[in-house]
Structure 1
Amino acid sequence: MARSYFNPMGTTALITGASSGLGIGFAHRLAERGADLVLVARRQDRLEALAVELAEKYGTASTVIPLDLTGPDAVAELVTDLRTRSVTVGTLVNNAGFATFGPFAVSDAGLQREQVALNVQVLTELTRAFLPDLLQTAGEHPHGAALVNLASTAAFQPVPRMAVYGATKAYVLSFTEALWYETHASGLKVTALCPGPVATEFSRVAGVAARRRPQSVDQVMRTVFADLDRGTPPPHRVSGARNAALAWLSRALPRGAVVKATGRLTARRRTA
């Protein structure tokens, strides 16, 4: 397949969950390629420190928007804010999300509601709000517009003790692949990134220990930006050869066997 360098220079990229982990990784890679940034997360101090770092290192202009996206009308507030600033979003990275761990029957109902809201509803609403911007940018800046939605290797099978998280990521995967098809003639680069364990604070927040050595943020960034540099990225990408093999097996083996195997693994994954 022909390769075409992803060049967002002169456009603006919106990153949710930008204050840590993969969000910071995306911020650095997009700033390095010349995009201005809109950084969205709850922790204002982290966002401001990141904006200063990006400005000093790459000369990037960053708009910092501290916001809890699960709050009432938060997405509408964000959209209105950017429209008021006359910002056209050329790349959207729906990175914000979180997981909880434990049997669903005794889980915190409020946290599960927030998890579905952030992982599914917010991602969907932001994509709908800014997809016209992305398509416009794709037409005006060939190879300069992208939609990256954060799925997970958890998207490929039910995950006992992380039932809601796995289901939300299955939604993200299916939703993004459908958009990949709907927009494939537009020049917009669309892909669902499916990392396995990554060396970030995600697992600690979820209260779950990784069963295998996590990838680094840089490894995941190399994977996704290699795909964005292609003329047409694949509809999804699993980061890491081992993770990709396990994702393939989860689809090839009988569903019942996969659920049982996953359940045995998660039974031993709670952190201390």
Structure 2
Amino acid sequence: MTHINILDPGASPLDYYGFELRRHRESAGLTQRQLGDIVNYTGSLVGQIETARKLPTPEFSERVDAALGTGGLLSRLVGLVMRSRLPAWFQQVAELEARAVEICSFQTHMTLGLLQTDAYARAVLGALDQTDLDDRTAVRLARQRIFEKGEPPVFWAVLSEAALHQEIGGPKTMREQLAHLLSFENNSRINIQVLPFSAGEHAGLQGSFDLYRFASDPTIVYTESYGSGHPTANPDTVTDCSLRYDHLRASALSLRDSAELIRRAMEERYGEQRDSDGGPVA
């Protein structure tokens, strides 16, 4: 167990966060319990974060920044902490997400991480491995804060209709996930299209991929396999995948029709089943 007196702020972003949290708390003359009472968390949790045994959340960081008057320091650090806890092979992708001005994603069988709900992400990440599931889920969801920036990226997602039918986490989780997708219906910066089964053969049959476009840097294509990611700026690959994505968007349903298909799947496939008296079936 790490002792607070020997915590090395240079050991990792998480250690640095804990060091700064403790320094500012002590400067304010507060115990861990007192700070916890102010921000509506337990003193034990404050202590665990200070000793780098627990990940801070963005919400915790914002509350502590306000309570201690740190000028947003911890809120700025928490993104670095979360990114550092991603698998090493994925950290570069998180950097691309954070810097991109436009992201185009094609997914063949499930909702991508940037649009996942807590329960859906937990089901995906916990399919074969339940270790540190709370922290791993929090780290995945923290990536979605790119949409809260002053200038968030323009985001295009083409989802295969299969993503609406692959039941991940059970009916309730799927209802919430599809409702979450519909919540972006009037957001001009987050655009979701469904590639219907009726499209037949299409330009994405080789698998899922993402395109990251930047203000001045070359476009990056990202593909993924088991336990590894493959970003490339190879011009031929970028040109090929950009053309493929244009064709996928053309083959997909319009934004409005996509929303209607998502809504129909949510209501008909994952709606509450009721008995003859109108009550929900357990």
Instruction: State the structure with bigger RCO (CA 8 A, min sep 6), 1 or 2.
Output: 1
Q: Which has the larger radius of gyration?
A: 2
TM-score by length of structure 2 reads 0.28
